[in-house]
Amino acid sequence: MSKQIISTNNAPAAIGPYSQGTIIGNLVFTSGQLPIDPATGVMPEGVAAQAEQSLKNVQAILEAAGSSMDKALKVTVFMADMNDFATVNGVYEKYFKSDYPSRSAVQVARLPKDALIEIEAIAAI
């Protein structure tokens, strides 16, 4: 079984030696998505806006792979401050309405580009 690389202009380009996403079998894995607007290269201010942009980026990669947010199986959320948990949940609920995927949410010491949040997902195709 060989892997397929996913690349889309609807999500920010990788800022290092990694792919936006990969497919193997009937699974797609996204790389962690910073809240960078792919059209402008800019991160919005505030954790709610950053969570929204990160989720839009995850969604774009999943859709480019032939999947969707409702096929997400596992999501990992990395936050600079766990005090933002409730705010992030409010945004997260816009993207996952029911039959929620498994999820981990962790506070980290620092994220690339000093983002407040980074989100990755594994989904079925």
Q: 4-124: what CATH class?
A: alpha beta
Average pLDDT over the chain, rounded to an integer: 97
**pTM assigned to the model:** 0.97
Give, in degrees to the nearest 5, the angle at Cα 38 between 110 and 46.
45
Residues 6+ apart with CB under 8 A from 98: none
- At position 60, the amino acid (one-letter code) is A
Distance CA 42, CA 122 (A): 25
Structure confidence at residue 89 as a pLDDT band (50, 70, 90): very high
Q: Is the pLDDT of residue 20 over 90?
A: yes
Give pLDDT, residue 98.
Answer: 87
Of residues 83, 79, 63, the one with CA closest to residue 123: 63
Give pLDDT, residue 8.
Answer: 98
Q: Is the pLDDT of residue 3 over 90?
A: yes
Question: Which pLDDT tens digit goes with each residue over 22-59?
Answer: 999 999 999 999 999 999 999 999 999 999 999 999 99
Under 8 Å between Cβ of 64 and 21:
yes
Q: Is the pLDDT of residue 13 over 90?
A: yes
Task: List the domain boundaries for the chain.
Answer: 4-124
